[in-house]
Amino acid sequence: MHFQKRVAPSKEATFESYDMRAGPEAEELMMPLIDRQPNPMHPASVPAPAATSTVRRDAIQVEHIRIDSNRHFEDVRVSLEKLPRFDDRIRDLLHEGEIERVRSDLKAIQGDAGLVVFSIAMHGDWLQIISGKRKAAQYVIGNVLVSTRMTQYQLAAGLYAPLRIMLYENDAGTATIEYDQPSSLFGQYGDERVTAVAKELDREMYNVLIDAAG
């Protein structure tokens, strides 16, 4: 089994702002056809001020990990899918306000691994519309109890919670697993409380995937 890390080159963060306000022509088009002139006696006929949006772009450094297994795709897939699956009935309990029951059920479902499979997308099957079916699957894996420990401080961290893992058959006929190191994704928020939890995920994810790869 071969273990490889690849770190994308870091770049200085860049910031761009755009003025999204509509011009007078667009404002004219938005006015009712029967009432082209604003009527101060009827505030509803006065066009609302156009909103301004700000766009920010940051370049981040991500550590990408590739694990090449000596095992076949199906063998690794079976091992990986021994992880518990998320039970959607827990969402119903949440909607009903059964918070303590939600906590206890989340703890029970995660088991010893500390990770749960939320969904599996068989990307290789879709390749039939282009060429031929391949052995490739994307796993969405995480832990609600862990992710909320991060999103309570940085809501944007929900972008990476749960995490994604790609399993596929490589050119040698064996299995390869690829994923991005959690701490390098969550670390972009510059919040040590978030990063500390993400480092726990680093260890849990690595242990689960190494075990599946054999």
Whole-model pTM: value is 0.76
Map residue 22 onto helix, strand or coil: coil
Distance CA 204, CA 102 (A): 22
Measured CA to CA in angstroms, residue 205 lies from 38, 114, 140, 156 at distances of: 60, 9, 12, 21
For the structural domain made of 2-9+62-213, what CATH number should be given? Answer: 3.30.310.70
Measured CA to CA in angstroms, residue 74 lies from 41, 173, 212 at distances of: 72, 11, 11
Distance CA 20, CA 34 (A): 27
Q: What is the pLDDT of residues 34-85, one digit of tens each?
A: 444 555 555 555 566 677 999 999 999 999 999 999 999 999 999 999 999 9
* Structure-block tokens of residue 210: 């190494």
Going from N- to C-terminal start, the domains of the chain cover 2-9+62-213, 17-55
